[in-house]
Chains A and B, each alone.
Chain A
Amino acid sequence: MSVGSHPTNEAAARAGVLGDPRLEETITDFFLPDDSRLDERARLLLGSVLGSIVGAVEADVRRHAARLLSGRGADRKADALLAARTDVLARLSAAGLLRDSELMEELLGRVRAELLADALPVAIDMPDAPSLLVRLTALPDTVVAAAATALLVQENRRGNLVEHKHAVGAELPAELHHRLVWWVAAAIREGVAADADTDRAIGEAAQRSLAAHDESERVEAVAVRLAAAIDPLPDEVPVLMVEAIGDRRLSLFIAVLARALDIDFDAARALVIEPRGERLWPALRAVGLDRPSIARIALSLADADPRRDIEQFADQLDGIAAIAAEAARAALAPLSLPRSFRSAIRALARSAQG
């Protein structure tokens, strides 16, 4: 009997030639630079956020599609849809769809910012006084008060999301949500013996989920609204930013920075979460922060993130403080392009490299 004729031996021979495919991945992981590697907390939170977002979309689509089927007298198909045990998250991961760079950029940015915010030290200016955001909710200016209340509510909701692991309301920007809903719909469809009725019901349920999505409810959008409502004068920006970070409201800090720089929230967030802050310090100079304000912000961020080296920052501080605001603004100009334009430029650059 030749070795190759036995199926088990064949598999063994193949494995011998190809080796363990996991080895390659382990090697890649080992040689990742520290700046690129996810630490365990970020990895866990990313998994939990992704799982709850996908789970919420799935529950919406599946339940509503079953309801539609049942309403049309197709009870058995409705039951089959509800009873199907597809692991949508695993299916989408295996298909590589969740490796979508825009989706991952958004989720990673959000997860890193949340972990950073969570670890920020509180700074008290007035003992026993309500914190910045609570004070803003009580202002006589109803536009600011309403926006501040909305941010308090949405940050509370997101805290509850992490605690209870189910998403309620909007979590993703509209175009990413759009993409995700159709992926989830396709994965649900794959798990049942799909026919024309079921397909139609899933399609309608997905469209309903798209229509109900209101990205203006997102923490990021609400923070941007609050920054716009406060509309700080240029000389008020530094005080507001230092106070926002002292109140551990990183989303408001980012939104004020984005507004002062006239860039998108996600672009400003990318500057803030970079552990070395190469782009953040010039950005803070561009919006007119002085040396002590930049030092205070750097100290808070370094206290929150062990990867940040405050001594190294202190070495650079004189150089940072010497940057002219005008020059800093010019250097950051590409960031003020629209998000989609920036994505397209990056995608082209990647394809040129590949």
Chain B
Amino acid sequence: MDAHATVAHATLDGEGLLLAAEFPFGELNARAGGAIARPLALAPVATVARLARRLGIIVSRGVVVADEEADLELWVRAQPDGDGVRLAISGWRERSAWAPVDGVDESHPDFLRDHGDWAWEADAGLRLTRVSIEAGRRHGFDAIGLLGEPITSLFALATSNGAVPLVEALARREPLKGQPAKLRSNDTPVLLSATVRRDAAGRFGGFVGLVHEEPPAPAAPPPPLAAEFTAGLDKALRRPLAQIIANADSINAATDGPVPPDYADYAADIANAGRHLLALVDDLVDLEAIERPDFLLAAEPIDLADVARRAAGLLAVRAIDKDVVIDRPPTGTQLAAVGDFRRSLQILVNLIGNAVRYAPAGSIVVVSAVSGAGRASITVTDEGKGIAAEDQARVFDKFERVDPTEAGGNGLGLYIARRLARAMGGDITLTSTPGQGARFTLTLPAGAA
């Protein structure tokens, strides 16, 4: 069932008491503390119903009601019926409770002026009701003559990824984004965007749109982070952060004389926050590098077992702090692979670091080396709480974390690690059963033994 297409009916008597309510509206009202023969517990819906009864006309409104964790956007149509009111409730769109209630009003002319090249509007029949005279002068079309004409007499619409965004925006009543088109007057390529004007009942009432000239070439989307930006970030932040961390560490260690214990703790917090930021700067610099189209890694013979031992060594102190033992490949074992030594080390530090972070005190993180079928693999296994099946793909996405409330990490580590592994012809895979820990495997092409 498509929840958005659901229409639930309900009836109220002349006093505003609920006589009957269909699923799922009745259940929603009950969760809010309402019941049959009682006033509606959903105040915004009750207000629409009351207004319809008092004005004696149909009143349609979009309202937002709280439902447990989330907010629901509903379209309420209230029709006076005798003394009472009949309600038809549709929409049923969920939105996160923390989302700001008032976003930017993108249909506002001030917004249009700042963010686009020129404006257009169309009515529910897709006839132009507003065209820029100034753009007409520049592109040789008769803005005045186009008023009241179909929008296709101004724009020749093209497809984007096999679909026409405008048609989809119409069907879904959602804002139009990135509709490629050409001006019929002179074939100038443009991109169209628009917000949807809706009537009180949520029906499509037209587009309030913008024309962006010189659209970015769709073939090569710009990298999400410009190289200059990350380089600037690196330069601007690394030194001050390092200084903050060093000073905070020396306050914490009371190197310059006694410090009250709570101040020493604050200093430790400051140093930790600084390290977190520094790690983020490192990750952003990496992110910029790996997302460049020309990103390449060295393919040299490396001993992956040795890399794993070094990574485990780097994390030894953290493991002791957390009372976790890292079981690393025994000294002397070798695992020939082809890849970039430094990047492989970075990947394994990330995987073992994650395992230590999620491992319960007193447990063991096992780092084992395996080879076969032309591949060399290092597997990192922890005894933590594991990762649910539905989250397993998501942990590799940019800025994704299984539990965003957990301290530490910025959601970039695994994304970068997997991109690096793939750039070396390898991969990172995950198997996990919730409650029984997680097992991450780095695989690289095998080298000559």
Q: Please list the residues of chain A having a beta carbon within 8 angstroms of any beta carbon in chain B.
A: 118, 121-124, 126-131, 133-134, 137-138, 149, 152-153, 156-157, 159-160, 162-164, 168, 246-247, 291-292, 295-296, 298-299, 303, 310-311, 314, 317
Q: Which residues of B contact A156 (CB under 8 A)?
A: 129-131, 133, 143-144, 147
Question: Bound state CA distance, A127 and B109, in angstroms?
Answer: 26
Give the CA-CA distance A246 to B55 in the complex, in Å.
17
Q: Which residues of B contact A295 (CB under 8 A)?
A: 55-57
Which residue of B has the minimal Cβ distance to A138? B148
Closest 10 CB pairs of A and B: A122-B205, A130-B125, A131-B123, A295-B55, A314-B54, A124-B199, A124-B203, A134-B148, A134-B127, A152-B147
Whole-angstrom distance between the Cβ of B59 and the nearest chain A Cβ: 7
The 30 sampled A-B contact pairs (Cβ below 8 Å) are A118-B109, A121-B199, A122-B197, A123-B200, A123-B205, A124-B199, A124-B201, A127-B204, A128-B124, A131-B124, A131-B125, A131-B127, A131-B206, A134-B127, A134-B148, A137-B148, A138-B148, A152-B129, A153-B147, A156-B133, A159-B119, A160-B132, A160-B133, A163-B119, A246-B199, A247-B123, A299-B55, A299-B57, A303-B200, A310-B51
- B255 to A: closest C-beta gap in Å: 56
Structural contact, A128 and B56, CB atoms closer than 8 A = no
Q: Is B318 an interface residue (CB 8 A)?
A: no
Q: Which residue of A lies closest to B199 (CB)?
A: A124
A156 to B123, CA, bound (A): 13
The listed residue (B54, B57, B129) touching A131 by CB distance below 8 A is B129
- Alpha-carbon distance between A131 and B147 when the two chains are bound, in angstroms: 12
Q: Which B residue sits closest to A300, measured CB to CB?
A: B200
> A123 contacts which chain B residues (CB < 8 A)?
199-200, 205
Cross-chain contact of B200 among A121, A138, A157, A310 (Cβ < 8 A): A121
**B139 at the A interface (CB under 8 A):** no
Interface residues of B in 153-207 (CB under 8 A from A): 197-201, 203-206
Min CB gap B142→A, angstroms:
11
CA distance A138 to B149 in the complex (A): 10
Contacts of B57 in A (CB 8 A): 292, 295-296, 299
* B134, A164: Cβ atoms closer than 8 Å: yes
* Given A149-B148, A295-B56, 14 other A-B residues pairs in contact with their CB atoms under 8 A: A121-B199, A122-B205, A123-B200, A124-B203, A128-B124, A128-B126, A130-B127, A131-B127, A133-B148, A152-B129, A157-B133, A159-B109, A162-B109, A246-B199
Verify B59–A299 contact, CB threshold 8 A.
yes
- Specify the chain B residue showing the minimal Cβ separation from A292: B57
Task: Confirm or deny: B95 has a beta carbon within 8 angstroms of a beta carbon on chain A.
Answer: no
Contact for A133 among B119, B129, B132, CB less than 8 A: B129
Among residues of A, the one whose C-beta sits closest to the C-beta of B146 is A156
Binary CB contact string for chain B from 345 to 364 against chain A (1 if under 8 A, 0 otherwise):
00000000000000000000
B113 within 8 A of A: yes
Interface size on B, residues (CB 8 A): 34
Q: Which of A121, A152, A156 has the largest number of chain B CB atoms within 10 A? A: A156
A129 B125 Cβ-Cβ under 8 A = yes
The complex places the Cα of A279 from the Cα of B255 at a distance, in Å, of 80
**Are B124's CB and A127's CB within 8 A?**
yes
CB distance from B412 to the nearest CB of A (A): 42
Bound-state CA distance A246–B143 (Å) is 25
A122-B206 contact given A156-B143, A160-B132, A160-B134, CB 8 Å threshold = yes
C-alpha spacing A164/B136, complex, angstroms = 13
A127 touches B51 (CB 8 A): no
Closest to B149 in A: A134
Distance of A153 Cα from B144 Cα, bound (Å): 6
Given A124-B199, A127-B203, is A134 in contact with B123 using a C-beta cutoff of 8 Å? yes
Contacts of B123 in A (CB 8 A): 130-131, 134, 247
The answer to whether A124 touches B51, judged by C-beta atoms less than 8 angstroms apart, is: no
Residues of A within 8 A of B54 (CB): 311, 314, 317
Scan residues 41-64 of chain B and give those whose CB is less than 8 A from a CB of chain A.
51, 54-57, 59
Contact (Cβ within 8 A) B131 A122: no
* Chain A residue at minimal CB-CB distance from B131: A156
Query: CA–CA, A164 to B134, complex, Å?
Result: 8
Minimum CB–CB distance from A125 to chain B (whole Å) comes to 9
Complex CA distance for A310 and B203, rounded to whole angstroms: 23
Separation in Å of the A116 CB from the closest CB of chain B? 15
Q: How far is the CB of A354 from chain B (nearest CB, A)?
A: 40
**B205 proximity list for chain A (CB < 8 A):** 122-124
Q: How far is the CA of A134 from the CA of B130 in the complex (A)?
A: 11
Query: Is the Cβ of A134 less than 8 Å from the Cβ of B129?
Result: yes
Q: Closest A-chain residue to B53, C-beta based? A: A314
Q: How far is the CA of A123 from the CA of B133 in the complex (A)?
A: 27
**Distance, CA A156 to CA B282, complexed state (A):** 52
With a cutoff of 8 Å between Cβ atoms, the chain B residues found around residue A121 in the complex are 199-200
Contact residues in A for B147 (Cβ distance below 8 Å): 137, 149, 152-153, 156
CB atoms of B197 and A163 under 8 A apart:
no
**A126, A138, A153 interface centre (most CB from chain B within 10 Å):** A153
- Provide the residues of chain B in CB contact with A152, threshold 8 Å: 129, 147-148
Of A134, A152, A168, A291, chain B has the most CB atoms within 10 Å of the CB of A134
Asked whether B204 lies within 8 Å of A124 as measured between CB atoms, the reply is yes
* Nearest CB on B from A154, distance (A): 10
Say whether A291 contacts B148, CB under 8 Å: no
Contacts of A126 in B (CB 8 A): 124
| A160–B109 alpha-carbon span in the complex (Å) | 10
A114 vs B198: C-alpha distance when bound (angstroms): 20
Q: Are A314 and B125 in contact (CB under 8 A)?
A: no
* Distance between Cα atoms of A291 and B54 in the complex (Å): 11
Chain B's nearest CB lies how many Å from the CB of A52?
14
Shortest CB–CB separation between residue A323 and chain B, in angstroms? 16
- List the B side residues contacting A134 at CB < 8 Å: 123, 125, 127, 129, 148
Chain B neighbourhood of A160, CB < 8 A: 132-134
A314 contacts B144, CB within 8 Å?
no
Q: Is the CB of A163 within 8 A of B206?
A: no
| Inter-chain contact B124/A129, CB cutoff 8 Å | yes
State the Cβ distance, A268 to closest chain B Cβ, in Å: 23
Q: Which residues of A contact B144 (CB under 8 A)?
A: 153, 156
- Alpha-carbon distance between A118 and B144 when the two chains are bound, in angstroms: 20
A314→B55 contact, CB < 8 A = yes
Nearest to B119 among chain A residues (CB) is A163
Contacts of B131 in A (CB 8 A): 156
In the complex, which of the residues A122, A130, A168 contacts B199, with contact meaning CB atoms closer than 8 Å? Answer: A122
Nearest residue, chain A, Cβ from B55: A295
Report whether B56 and A291 are in contact in the complex, using a CB–CB cutoff of 8 Å. yes
Closest to B197 in A: A122
Contact residues in A for B127 (Cβ distance below 8 Å)? 130-131, 134
Task: List B contacts of A127 (CB < 8 A).
Answer: 124, 203-204
Smallest beta-carbon distance B27→chain A, Å: 30
Q: What CA separation (Å) do A246 and B197 show in the bound complex?
A: 12
Q: Closest CB of chain B to A43's CB: distance in Å?
A: 14
Choose from B113, B203, B204 the contact partner of A163 (Cβ within 8 Å): B113
Pair B134/A317 contact, Cβ less than 8 Å: no
Q: How far is the CB of B242 from chain A (nearest CB, A)?
A: 46
Note all chain A residues with C-beta closer than 8 A to B206.
122, 131
